[in-house]
Amino acid sequence: MTIATTPTVADRIAELDWRSLTAQLDEQGFAQTPPVYTATDCRELAASFDDGRFRSTIDMRRYRFGEGEYKYFDAPLPALIDGARHALYPPLAELANEWAQRLGEPATFPTDLEAFLERCHRAGQRRPTPLVLRYGEGGHNTLHQDIYGDVAFPVQAVTVLDRPGVDFEGGEFVLLEQRPRAQSRAHVIELRRGGFLIFATRHRPVQGTRGYYRANMRHGVATVRSGQRTTLGVIFHDAS
């Protein structure tokens, strides 16, 4: 008798259409997956904001980062986060190396997350960076980049854990692209509960008339109009 098993988050990520996702990410600097976390997964991860193991807690108002609070998970990471981080990394590392080549940089991102994290650790970046963020009414996050040391991966991911339109209103994800000698372009994106928005962390290559150039990228969160918005951020490089 064959016993059916429930696919893990890593299984669900492996089954995504990565050709289409990386093509979108390459073309526009972001791509959003279908849900890979179940509603139960989302509730478990949202609950970790109150009972998880963290290495650091940040009050955004204190540092003028916005209005809300976020917490960096301590090692070992929860299985749902660690599994997603390991599964997301390999197809993104392939694109990261392509981007590096276009920008005239060494294409040296390993295909395995553990090998990349070892590079971070050799550079003195040993603190985990996945984090959970919570915003109430009036909450927001100013435009920024998540760079924590000399070693940085050019792509990261975020998912919303509460129900848009039910648990909260507003709080759209904002991605700002600035191209040289041009006006900035903003993308305002509704996150899908349990699905990952994958986006450029710092810059990405854009084809110009004289080859590729760097388009600078920053991201933030629009004001939450009501309710409570909890999100999970998955950053692949560790922090110093």
Alpha carbons 139 and 73: distance in angstroms, whole number: 21
Q: What is the pLDDT of residue 182?
A: 83
Q: What is the pLDDT of residue 124?
A: 98
Please report, for the chain, the start and end positions of each structural domain, with discontinuous segments joined by +.
9-234
Q: What is the pLDDT of residue 17?
A: 98
170-187 pLDDT, tens digit per residue, is 999 999 999 888 899 999
Residue 1 has pLDDT above 70, yes or no: no
pTM, entire model = 0.95
Count other C-beta atoms under 10 Å from residue 209's C-beta: 5
CATH class of this structure's domain 9-234: mainly beta
Integer CA distances (angstroms), 168 to 17, 137, 159, 219, in order: 30, 8, 14, 20
Q: Which residue, 72, 90, 111, is CA-closest to 13?
A: 90
